[in-house]
Amino acid sequence: MTTLDVYLHRELVGVLERHEQARLGFRYSPEWVGQGGEALSLSLPLREEPFDDDECRPFFAGLLPEGEFLRAIARFFQVSAENPFSVLSAIGGECAGAVSLASPDSEPPFLNAAEPRWLDEGELGRLLEAMPSPALIADSGEEGEGFRLSLAGTRDKLSVLCERDRIGVTRGRPPSTHIIKKPVADLEGMVANEAYCLNLGAESGLPTATASPLAANGEEGLLVRRYDRRQLDHAEVVRIHQEDFCQALGVLPDIKYQAEGGPSIATCAKLIREHVSAPAVDLMTFLDALLFNLLIGNTDAHGKNFSLLLDGEGAPKLAPLYDLLSARAYWPFRRKMAMKYGGEYRGDRIRGRHLERLASDLAISSVGVRRRAREIGERVRDAAPRARERLPEPWRDVGLLDSIDQLIVDSTEEIRRAAGEPA
């Protein structure tokens, strides 16, 4: 196979090509260009000319998992983890947002999809225990076809359909509505950590993904509602096209950290200013997210952990925040953030001059940034009891949450001190 059909919302938009030495090429179909269709990515504007490997690889590689998760899947399918085309041909049937890839001799995605398979607690637990690769190609019945689901990120994930009080696996029709994230084995309290931080962000007024811990047959996971799905009044679930900041900027996922050449705060702010429908609102939300990550010690907030919704009401717009987790609760010494804050990576060394440069990077007044820095600490501190109360009973008293609360107290004082310092 040397080509894959690329679909957006079940519409054929173009073809992904595999060239020599596993290089990629992408071209929009003449019909899609002629009718003025939606661009697949901000980094792949609608045009007749094909895109070469350097231009299209960041978007398509960005659809795939990363790290050991990707390598495990590649081993299972006996393909190279370094070859996005081969991996997408195996698991690209339903990607994040509204993108699907299919072989050119197959039917459009989900046209004749089998009915969802609903899981009891034992089946769900066994799927979680078997993650990553077997969960992606779990027995799909007589058709003998896998689920072909691709979700970006380094964590093991299972895409599921939640309907009333039941959880199932779907072949894409209807679309999955939630993701179950499995904790890293050697990081105690990880599910409680992420659930608490997401609750804390929501209770502090930030737009965040909704999540709740779950347990099934002795296995633990975090059930996250997909923000790239929308449920209509008549209960139909529809996909929302989205992409992360690295994809939108044409940056490979391998270099998502600023220190490796990935997006900086200034680059992200420029992306927001130039492309979203309400830049002033989304820039302030982005600032709040940056400050919140400082407070909770989320040192992993890189370019792939921010996304844009490319269609739907008010689009393009900043997607709800996700992957909010305190890394410093595990490694107190890890103070280097994924992006520089006004020229400084270490959160505990940010001073007034760094906030001034941060304001310049965001094109927001320095007075506004300093005021927001003072306010966000108070909002997060006051929200902590409510955020913990939202957790189910077994996860509410995890000791790690006390460490996060103390970290927030210390970080709030550091930010308040910096906000009061002269430039």
Q: Which residues are catalytic?
A: 300
Please state, in angstroms and as integers, the Cα–Cα distance from residue 28 to each residue in 7, 14, 25, 204, following that order: 10, 4, 10, 42
Pairing of strands 178-181, 211-216: unpaired
Instruction: Report d(CA 29, CA 47) in Å as an integer.
Output: 9
Please give the Cα distance from 422 to 252 (Å, whole number).
38
**Does an H or E element contain 386, and which?**
helix 366-389
Cβ-proximal residues to 232 (8 Å cutoff; 6+ apart), any chain:
238
Angle formed by the axes of helices 279-296 and 352-362, nearest 10°: 150
Q: Are 166 and 118 in contact (CB under 8 A)?
A: yes
Q: What is d(CA 55, CA 14) in angstroms, rounded to the nearest whole number?
A: 15
Could you give the count of Cα atoms lying within 13 Å of 241 in the half-sphere of its Cβ?
20
Orientation angle between helical segments 279-296 and 265-275, nearest 10 degrees? 150
278 burial level (CB within 10 Å; 0-12, 13-18, 19+): middle
Q: How many other C-beta atoms lie within 10 A of the C-beta of residue 107? A: 10
Residue 190 CA to residue 71 CA, distance in Å, equals 22
Q: Is the dihedral of CA 406, 407, 408, 410 positive or negative?
A: positive
Instruction: Using alpha carbons, select from 343, 270, 340, 359 the residue that is nearest to residue 299.
Output: 340
**CA distance linking residue 343 with residue 263, whole number of Å:** 13
Helix extents (H) in 62-119: 67-77, 84-91
Among residues 395, 400, 394, 407, the alpha carbon closest in space to that of 188 is found at 400
